[in-house]
């Protein structure tokens, strides 16, 4: 049954291996448990938000609270769409598409994490392509941005392979130290859709007004 009050619940992106969808509560718990097991190698700090340093149970709770928070504060002027990423029926991580004043700026940002056991399998690239297809091909985005620590070779590589180019840096504080991120941009003019592997997008029509389009 479709959800007329929260049509985003019916939005689904299906790729060759993956399904991206807004998780229900049971699926959100499963995703939180994946995060609890670890999302990067010990000693690494690939995210500005220090949630990966939390104890496993608190890391799981953070995942759930962030998801609930983003749902509850959704506005046309400011939204963050968190997709659960599923490999078959197996939850593997979360991929997020977010924007501020999208109806005017036509600019999105992406972020994601995968359970450590699912790294280096091309899953992150496949999931990013799917949400970029949604952004460029269906929502009419002009550009997509991401920020990546300069020493995060994995995320840097995913972005470069997809055509992102350097667009400056940002300086932040993490654990009392300055950290520098590369700001990367992919414009729609440089986006190359892959017809053979394009995701099947379903459930979007009812959700379009929620993006301000």
Which candidate, 35, 53, 32, 33, places its Cα nearest to that of 44?
53
**Mean pLDDT value across the chain:** 93
The residue whose two tokens read 């994601």 is 112
pLDDT of 164 over the 80 cut: yes
Encode pLDDT of 83-108 as tens digits.
999 999 999 999 999 999 999 999 99
pLDDT for res 113 = 94
Helix (H, G, I), strand (E, B) or coil at 32: helix
Question: Model's pTM, two decimal places?
Answer: 0.94
Higher pLDDT, 112 or 195: 112
pLDDT at 66: 97
Residue 169: its pLDDT value, please? 94
Entry field: residues in the chain = 213
d(CA 208, CA 139): 8
Contact 123, 15 (CB under 8 A): no
pLDDT at 195 over 80: no
pLDDT at 77: 97
Helix boundaries (H) for the chain = 25-37, 56-72, 102-105, 123-133, 153-161
Backbone φ and ψ of 157, nearest 5°: -65, -40
Structure tokens belonging to residue 111: 């972020």
Task: State mean pLDDT over 187-203.
Answer: 90
Mean pLDDT, rounded, for 171-176: 87
Please name which of 67, 69, 68, 34 lies closest in space to residue 52, comparing C-alpha atoms: 34
Instruction: Supply the pLDDT for residue 1.
Output: 64
pLDDT digits (tens, 9 = 90+) for 4-46: 899 999 999 999 999 999 999 999 999 999 999 999 877 777 7
């Amino acid at each position: 049954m479709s959800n007329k009050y929260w049509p985003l619940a019916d939005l689904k992106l299906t790729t060759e291996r993956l399904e991206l969808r807004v998780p229900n509560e049971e699926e959100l718990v499963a995703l939180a448990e994946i995060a609890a097991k670890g999302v990067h190698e010990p000693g690494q700090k690939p995210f500005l938000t220090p949630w990966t340093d939390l104890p496993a149970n608190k890391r799981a709770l953070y995942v759930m609270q962030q998801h609930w928070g983003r749902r509850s504060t959704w506005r046309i002027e400011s939204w963050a769409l968190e997709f659960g990423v599923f490999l078959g029926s197996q939850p593997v991580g979360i991929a997020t598409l977010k924007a501020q004043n999208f109806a005017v700026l036509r600019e999105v940002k992406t972020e994601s994490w995968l359970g450590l056991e699912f790294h280096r399998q091309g899953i992150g690239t496949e999931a990013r392509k799917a949400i970029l297809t949604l952004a460029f091909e269906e929502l009419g985005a002009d550009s997509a941005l991401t920020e990546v620590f300069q020493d995060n070779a994995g995320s840097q590589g995913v972005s470069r392979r997809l055509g992102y180019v350097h667009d400056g840096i940002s300086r932040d504080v993490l654990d009392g130290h300055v950290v520098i991120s590369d700001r990367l941009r992919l414009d729609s003019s440089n986006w190359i859709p892959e017809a053979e592997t394009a995701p099947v997008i379903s459930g979007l029509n009812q959700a379009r007004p929620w993006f301000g389009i």
